[in-house]
Every structure is written in C-alpha cells, then in structure tokens.
Amino acid sequence: MHTDFKQELNEQQLQVVLETERPLLVLAGAGSGKTRSLIYRCAWLIKEKKVPPKNILMVTFTNKAAKELQERLQNILGYSVQNLWVGTFHHICTRILRNEASFLPFRQNFSIYDENNQLSLLKKIYKEHSLDRERFPLQPVLNRISSYKNRLLLPEDLNEYNLEISMENYKLDRTVPKIYELYQQNLLQNNALDFDDLLLYTAKLLQNNELVRKKYQQQFQYVMIDEYQDTNYAQFEIVHQIAAEHQRICVVGDDDQAIYSFRGATIRNILEFEKDYADAIAIRLEQNYRSTSHILELANAIILNNRHRHSKTLWSELGEGYKPELFVYEDDMEEANKTADLILQLHEEGIPFREIAILYRTNAQSRVFEYACLQRNIPYTIVGTVHFYQRKEIRDLLAYLTVIFNPSDNNSLLRIINEPPRGIGSVSINRLMEFTSQNHLSLYQSIQNVQAIQSIQPGIKKKIAEFAEKLEDWHRKAENTPVLDLVKEVIDSLDLINHYKNSKDPAEISRVENLIEFVSSVSEFSERWIEEYDKSPLLEDFLPFVALQTDIDRVNEAADTVYLMTLHNAKGLEFECVFITGLEQELLPHLRSMNSKYSIEEERRLLYVGVTRAKSRLFLSYAKYRRKYDSFYFTEPSIFLQELDPNLFAGYNDAVTFKPKPANKVYAKPKTLNNNQFYIGQKVWHTEYGPGLVLNVDGNGPEARLTISFSSGKLAKIIASYVSPEPI
C-alpha cells in the first residue's frame, strides 16, 4: 500500500482492518479514528485481498463522509478507485431502485421529494378531498406516514394489528391510513418517491424478489456500515438481506451517540448485533484522538449514568488540557452576551472563529446568540436553517430540471408553469388541471395537447404550447447533454438573470448571485464526477446529489465563522472550542423526554455528543431565568449536571453538594412588578396567564419561586417579581 498502515493504526484499529471474514461489531467511541479504520480496511481488501471494488459496499451517514472516505482511500492506495459502492443509505437505495425499476410501480426517472414537496402534495390532497387541516394537521400526518414506512408498511399492509390506534388521537389514527393511501397514489402518479420510500421500496424489493436479492448478495461480498447506531428497521432489513449470504459484514458505531430515535432509528440494532449474527466478534475503539483528558473524563462521567449501553471508557494521550468550565447566568440574554464575550477573548488568543461552536437543544435558542454575535461583529453561520437549495429561485430552477428529467412530476410542473411570468393565469391553469383529470393524463401530456382544450383562449394556448415545446426540447437533450451545459442553457433561455436584475424589488437582486452560485455548484459537482468516473455527469446524476444533501454536508469548513447549531446537527463535527448552552430541566433534558427513562437516556447521549465535539476547550452554561413571551421563568439546573462530581469542572471543590458558581456579573432583571412577600393560598395576577392561586412559596421577597395554579388550567413556576397581587 501507499503507506505502511501498521504504523498508522493502533492495535484495535489494526484488528478492525484484518478481521474481514466474519461478522464484526466495532464499538467506536467518539474521536477514536473509526473513519481511519474503515478506510484502511477497504484499502486492505482492495490491495492485499484483491477484492474488486464493485464487490464492496460502504454505507456512510452523510455525503460529506462518503466524499472524505473516497479522497482518503485514493491517498492511501495512490490511485482513484472506480466502481466502489460508497454513499448514504438513501444514495445507495436510489442506485438500486433506478437499476431495478422494472420490478417496481414507478419508472427509472423518478423524482425524489423533500419535505416541502411532500407538504405541497398533501395540501393538494386535502383540498381535493375537503380534509380539515385543523383536525388533521399536516406535519403530524406526515410523521405518522413516515413511521408506517419505516416499519415497511404500505397502505395495503395496514390492518387492525399495526395501526396503533389510541383513544387520545382516535380520529387522527383512524384517518391517517386513508390519507396515506391517497398520498401514495399521488406520489406514484407523479412518478415520485419521498425519502422514506427510497428505503421502503428497496427493503421490500430485497425481501420479496429473489432474483434481485441474489444479485446484490453475490455482488456485495463485503459490507461495511458506519454509524450503525442510527439505523432504523428499514435500514436494518436492507443490510440484513444483502449480507445474508457471505456474512462478511462490519458495522461501526457508538451506542453512546444514538440520538435519532425521533427519525425512527433504533438503538436495538447495535445493542443486539451479536444476537443477529451468531459468529460475530466485537472490537472496542476507546483511544480518543480528538479531545484532551479532562474533556473525556467529563464525557465518561456523563454517559456512565446510562444503563442501556455497551461499556467503554474513552482515554487520550493528548494531555490533560483545560478542565471544562461551567457558568451560571442570570438569564438567557446574559448567557448569550457572556458567551459572545468569551468567543472574542478566545479569538484574540488565536482561535479561529471556524473552530468555535455554540450548541443548544432547540433551534429557538439561536435567536439570542445571533443577536449577541451581531452586536459584536462576530461572523456566524447557523446550521440547520433554510439552506441554499431551499431558496425560491433555486427551487424554481430545480423544478425545471426535475420536469425535464421526469415529465410526470405534476407538482414541479405546476410550480414553473408561470414562473417566470409568461401570462398563464390561474383560470387557464385550472382548466388545464380539469382537462388533465378528465382525460387521465399527466399535466405534461395536457400542455403537449393544449390545442384540444376548447375552454382556453387561443393567445394563452400559444404561450402554453411554446412552453411545452421548450420543455420537450430540453427533455430530449437531457439524455446526452452534460448537466452543466444544460443548466446554463435553461438559465439563458428563460433569461432568469435579467428577470431578477430588472426587478424593482431590491431583494430580487440577491437571487442573481444565488443563480450564479448554483452554476458554480454544478461546475464543482461536474469536476468531481469527471475525476471519479472519467465522463461528464448528466442530469440524472446531478438531481439525486441535490435531493440527498443534508445540513452537515453544507457546513463550509473554509469559512471563518462561528457555528451555531443544535446538538443533533453537531453530530459528526469537531471544534477546538465548544459552548453547550441551556443546560436546564425541560430544555436538556427536553420536556418531551421527561416521562420515559429511555428518552432521558437519549437526552443524556445528546449531551455526551456535544461534549465530545470539543478538542481543547469546553464551556457549559445555564440561565437561572429564561424568557418566554413577555415573562421570565425560573429554571432548574439540568439533572445531568446534578449527577456529576463538581471536581470535573474548573474551580469546584465541594464534592458533597454541587452548587454551580454564578457568573461574575449579575445581570439586572428588566423590571420588578412588586416586592411583596407572597403566601400559600394568595390570589395573584400575571400579565399573560391572568388570575392564579399560589400553591407553594420557595424563598423570600422578589426572588421567591412561586408555584401557581392559573384559572386557565396552567401550572407554572414563576419568580415573584413577575407577578402581582390580583387586582381588586
């Protein structure tokens, strides 16, 4: 091999590389070099065992990880590897479904719908069938459909035993299967699949079609799965079916970082791997190459409180480093301001902004940190907000490309039929849709036959016909035209640049920049594709790449900005300095998790993930009061802090009672309504909740913590200074 891999790996990593012929569970702690182990294992198979790359399947958690893996593999081998199947589950499944579309109820050129497309389709269904969005809210319905699909249940598979009907959501539970049936019918009419479908149809194809199953079992002689703790039932089934013949499966993961149960992931897959594969062996990677010892001591202490886990203890040879620091702030604004001040201090000490991250439990917490950064001219990037490909002008252009590739996609065609404006109004569009429905056509077929629609005026017919001719021309070209050339032709032909340049709305000007950036992204994609496959990519190669992008894939590590993100979005990333904020009961752990020991364990794993992102400096904080609407609410420190020895933090010596030290400066509350002493049974008034009754008083004066039962039925803990005696 290009380098002496035995010198590059520790003893356990070397075991992972060489143990290739039986099922292998690699329990890889955070920062333990699992990617390095996988890459060398793959290189060993290709170089030393002479396994053709096409016979190796490597599944990664993100596209970014897949790209990194390929690049590093090339560096080790000294040449580019073609025909290696490497990518995310969704990427791999897309390839399989396109290859095997003849066995499936959709065509090879299917569209992939993101959440926006799904909601748009669902709104259409609700309108057509007069469904009440208040009784059956869109997002819960989509979530329920997603859970069916993750269990590999199509509408025809649902019955009284798997419907999961509850008394509290009886109407929703009874109605969703009917909506699901309509939703799936509409997807197939549009020749479209959503993300869950990519897994569902692949799993069912492998289960039910022996010919296809044998084909991929024989092809993939060696299977490697990264981040196995985040797999769901559908993904488990796909892997299980493919690996069944050779049993040469290697799964890598860390049950301590299993944080995606809300997406359907089940920790069962990694905890019971050795039951699923009788001859399996387990290797633990516990040496951490990312963080200093003090940070790892805290991480180990946090996760030790979880019962459902494989035991492992992270250790490091990078030295003790700084102890983590814990700050207690008066309120959330002070937490944000002091965090921003610390960031400036770290930057002055030589830490680049890009090596600093602020992590929080929910997206709503970002606002105060954004404001604090803006006030201090600290550059920042929020991970997980509306990303580049979701911007209107980009979604419009992608809708054009989608229709060019898949003319059956009515949803996308409706989006662009009058975008940019070409004089086709809503009346004409409704008549087109009526004609489409009456004649059992796709919308694309209707615009091709617009002359047959008597109810549309001749002038409008001409515009529709010109539009249809243009789409058909691009559709023909797309088969052989490199995607970069096709994209430039579409933009030029539609005159999109001038359309936005000439707009009277100043906001439209930025859309020009975004279109230019889009062309740049296609160019970059094309260069990588040519390098890997030695040919120019077509539209069919580019569209899945865009559809399967994730938030983590879009993190620009070259940009010198502080990163703001949720703890979930931080998974897979690392930074020199990390701030974990909002360590309060009902926030971390989140209120929704408080009734389940399994959910509490997942919340603790989430904190563990955050802590293990830090290389050298770690700061944790919580606020004594947090603003909601126009009031401040008393908070309690997270139970996860209360479980810890204070000696794990800088400056704490009291090992008996963990009382976090307040921040240096006390932040004055914005207002004081009264300073009276309150008592149990007293009637009080709150500006938002109205009249209430004091049930408990903890403390004295304006700082007293009051438990109040309000006449609205709400029970809340509120600081005395934010309520007043009930007005007479």
Task: Show which residues are catalytic.
Answer: 34-35, 226-227, 257, 613
Query: What one-letter code names the amino acid at 304?
Result: L
Q: Is the peptide bond before 420 cis (omega within 30 degrees of 0)?
A: yes
Query: CA 550 → CA 196, 253, 392, 669, distances in Å?
Result: 15, 20, 18, 40
Residues 6+ apart with CB under 8 A from 267: 229, 255, 258, 261, 308
For 292-307, give one letter per residue: b (16+ CB within 10 A) or e.
Answer: bbbbbbbbbbbbbebe
CB 335 within 8 A of CB 329: yes
**Cα(508)–Cα(504) distance, integer angstroms:** 8
Neighbours of 645 (CB within 10 A): 12
CB 334 within 8 A of CB 663: yes
The SS3 call for residue 568 is: coil
**Cα(57)–Cα(668) distance, integer angstroms:** 59
Residues 6+ apart with CB under 8 A from 230: 61, 253, 258, 259, 260, 263, 265
**Cα(7)–Cα(236) distance, integer angstroms:** 34
The two three-digit tokens of residue 659, written as one number: 């009382």
Paired sense of beta strands 56-59 and 575-580, if any: unpaired
The SS3 call for residue 310 is: coil
Query: CA 246 → CA 169, 218, 253, 606, distances in Å?
Result: 45, 8, 21, 35
**Cα(241)–Cα(243) distance, integer angstroms:** 6
**Cα(155)–Cα(174) distance, integer angstroms:** 13
**Cα(535)–Cα(526) distance, integer angstroms:** 9
CB 294 within 8 A of CB 37: no
H/E stretch holding 95:
helix 89-99
Residues 6+ apart with CB under 8 A from 340: 369, 372, 373, 375, 376, 378
- By CB neighbour count within 10 A (0-12 exposed, 13-18 middle, 19+ buried), where does 637 fall? middle
- By CB neighbour count within 10 A (0-12 exposed, 13-18 middle, 19+ buried), where does 621 fall? buried
**Cα(330)–Cα(624) distance, integer angstroms:** 5
Evaluated on CA atoms 645, 648, 652, 653, the torsion sign reads positive
Phi/psi for 150 (5° steps) reads -65, -25
CB 704 within 8 A of CB 719: yes
Q: Which residue has the tokens 């073609």?
A: 82
